[in-house]
Structure 1
Amino acid sequence: MKEDTIKIAGFHAHVYFDTASQDVAARVREGLGARFEVQLGRWFDHPIGPHPQGMYQVAFLPNQFDRVVPWLMLNREGLDILVHPNTGDAVSDHTEHSLWLGKKLDLNIEFLRQVSSTSCDILLH
């Protein structure tokens, strides 16, 4: 049985970087903020939550998906990016329902099992 997309309240893109790629990540962030109606989250220079390396989160509504994700595909400049829906099930959203641009990183799924489905929202503030 297919899931109904009405359950998707929005999307998150997690843009991963390290010390060497931080300037690239800043350019991608500037491009996203200038072109789209997105909410740019805080910079994290270290692993946080389920994320294995530094990253920032970009939140956007379903009506932005067809513009934001193709732009990221063409302009990610080699960065690894996780894109996932927000359906209220953080584990499934980050695993079964996610897509990766670049290399798929190993997330700490156990962390997601132990916290509420809204755990990613803290990354925006």
Structure 2
Amino acid sequence: MSTLRVLQMLPLAIALLVACQASGAPDTEVWSKPYEIVQRPRPTFPDQARANSGRVDLICVVAAGGRMTGCQIVSEQPERQGFGQAAVASMRQARIAVDPNGPQPGARIRSTISFWNGQGQPPS
């Protein structure tokens, strides 16, 4: 690729980078204040889990009506046992209050989902 072609494509690359940051890319700010949960997620314990408990941290985008969309797994313990996917699926039914002092549609929030199958020690 010629130097001229690279220079011609540079404005497009910069525009795409700015658009990704504005749309809730992972490096954008996450809401850090408490928020009111209107409808809690009800995760289903994964069938393939070998552990008695699990914990998943998610970052989701608030949509209209307080719905959660675009959830991304930040951490999952233990990994590869289905806890992450179950947590993301459960957030489809979760709702938060959208009010002037809380996160507005488009805001990114952090949520933690804990799992326990009733055996052994519950998660701390």
> What TM-score, normalized by structure 2, do the two folds share?
0.29
> What TM-score, normalized by structure 1, do the two folds share?
0.28
The structure that has the greater radius of gyration is 2
Q: Which has the higher strand share?
A: 2
